[in-house]
Amino acid sequence: MAPNNEGQAEGSTTLFKSIKQQLHLDNEQLKQVMGTMQSEMVEGLCRSDSTSSLGMLPSYVSSVPCGDERGCYLALDLGGTNFRVLLIKILDETNDSKKCRVEMANQIFSLPESIIQGDSEGFFGYIAECIAMFCEEHGLMDSYLPVGFTFSFPLEQRGLNQGVLLTWTKGFDVSGVKGQDVVQLLTAAINKRGDMNCEVVAIVNDTVGTMMSCALTEPHCKIGLIVGTGCNACYMEKLSNVHMVDGEHGDMCINMELGGFGDNGVLDEIRTEFDKAVDSDSLNPDCHLFEKMISGMYLGELVRLILCKLTKEGAIFNGEGSKKLFTPGMFKTAYVSEIEYKSVDDKLHGNILIRNILQELGLTPDDADCEAVHNVCHLVSKRAAHLCAAGVAAVALKVKENHDTESMKVTVGVDGTVYRKHPTFSKLMSQKVEELCDGTGVSIDFVLSHDGSGKGAALVAAAMSEKVC
C-alpha cells in the first residue's frame, strides 16, 4: 500500500508542477506580450480593416476635463449585472469658484436574465422604465437633462452620441441590437414613454468614464482601466495617429477593447488547456480571450477547471469530487477573493474558510486540500494581475512615445470589482508594472476611481452641453 501512496503523491506533485509552469509567466514572456500588444495597437490605429485583435475604437472624446465644467446631468451606467442611474451636479467649490465639487445621487436596478437575454424592445423599454422611476423619485420628470451614457460593450462610435454595438459580452445576448445604434434604440424607448425630457448627448465606454473621472483631479491621467466583470482600457492618443478619423492636431481617447487582445491567435503560446476550456464553454467562443484570462467573470471558472483536473487525477479530495464541483460556474470568483484574503491575513483561519467554501460545494477537504486550493487560487490570480500589468505597461509606453520625452509620469484611473475587492490583485499588478517599466523612463501611478463610470460620462456630457437644470 505504501508504494502506491508514494507513487500517487509523486504523481500529484508532478501534476501541480505542470499546472504551475503553465500559469507562470516570467518577465521575458510578459515583455513579449507587451511588444505584441504595442504592434497590435499601431496596426489597429492604422486601418479599419486591420487584422489587429484590438478594436482601437475612437471615442470622439478629444480632451480630459479642464475643471470649468458646471451643471446638472443624468448619467447611465450599463455594463454588468446591474444598471445604475445617477444625478450628477457639478458645482462651484463653496469657497473657491475656480474649483468644482461634485454631488451625486444614484439608484441601482438589477438586470434580470430574462432582460439581458431577451429582445431589443424589452431591454431598452426596461432601461427607460428604470430612468423614469429615478426621475420620478427625484422630481426631475419636467427638467431638461443632458445624459451621458456609459455603455460597457464593444462599440463602433461614429460620433460622440452615436454608437453601434459590435458584439455583446459578459453574459448579455439581447437580440436585435448587434449592428444597431444603441443611442437611437434608447432614445426611441424614452420617446415612446413620452414622460421625460432627457437627451443622450454622449455615449462612452466605462474605461473612458473612469479616465475622465480621475482626470478631473489628476492632470497626469492619460489611461483608464477596468478590471471587473470584464477587462478593458482606454488612453489618450495623438489624433494624427488615428487614421480612421480626420484631423492632424489634438488628441483622441481610444477605446482599446483590450479584452479581445489575442483573438487573432497572437497569445496562443501562453493560453493553457484551462483557458481553452473556459473559452469553448462560454457564450462567445473565440472572442475576448485576454479578458477570459483576467476578468471576474472567468477567474472562478478557471480555478474550478484546474481543481476538477486535480481531482480526477487523484491529487486532491482523494480523487472524489462532487456534483457542484463538476458543474460549470459553481466556483465563484468571489470565492477566489475570499480565499486569497483569508489566506494572506491568517493561514489558520484561511483554511477554515476554505474548508467551509469547499463543504458548500459538497466536498470533504483536509488541510492539504485547503492548501492546494489556495495555491491554485493564487496562481490564477497572479497570472491575471501580471497579464494586466503587461497591458498597462504597453499602453503607458505608447503614451510616452507620443509625447517624445525621455521621462514621463502617467496616472492610470482604475476601477472594477477585481481591482477593488481582490486582496492581492492590485498589489501584484502595480509591482509587476514597476518591474516591466524599469529603465524605460515611465513612472506609473494608479488612482482608484470613485463612481468613475457615471461621473465620467456626466463630465463628457457637460463638455457637450451648456444647458443646466
Catalytic residues: 170, 206
Cα–Cα nearest to 465, from 75, 57, 58: 75
Q: Which residues pair with 238 in a beta bridge?
A: 251
CB distance 181 to 162 below 8 Å: yes
CB count within 10 Å of CB 469 equals: 15
Task: Assign 3-class secondary structure to 300-362.
Answer: HHHHHHHHHHHHHCCCCHHHCCCCCCCCCCCCCHHHHHHHHHHHHHCHHHHHHHHHHHHHHCC
Ranges of H-type helices in 47-153: 113-116, 120-137
Q: Output Rg (C-alpha) for the chain, integer angstroms.
A: 23
Count of CB atoms situated within 10 Å of the CB of 108: 11
For residue 77, give the H/E element and its range. strand 71-78
Run of H or E residues at 277: helix 273-280
Q: How many residues does the chain have?
A: 469
Residue type, 401: E
Given the DSSP bridges, would you call strands 162-165 and 231-238 parallel, antiparallel or unpaired? unpaired
Closest CA to 32 of 279, 379, 386, 277: 386
Name the one residue in this structure whose C-alpha cell is 493564487.
378
| Contact present, 373 and 306 (Cβ < 8 Å) | no
Residues 6+ apart with CB under 8 A from 222: 64, 211, 235, 236, 399, 410, 411
Three cell numbers written together for 364: 470533504
Give CA–CA dist 462/456, Å, rounded. 10
Provide the CA 220 distance to its chain's centre, in angstroms: 21
Query: Are β-strands 198-204 and 408-415 bridged in parallel, bridged antiparallel, or unpaired?
Result: unpaired
The whole-angstrom separation of Cα 361 and Cα 320 is: 12
Q: Please, what is the Cα angle at 236 between 234 and 239, to 5 degrees?
A: 125
List, in order, residues 6 or more apart from 21 with CB less than 8 Å away.
none
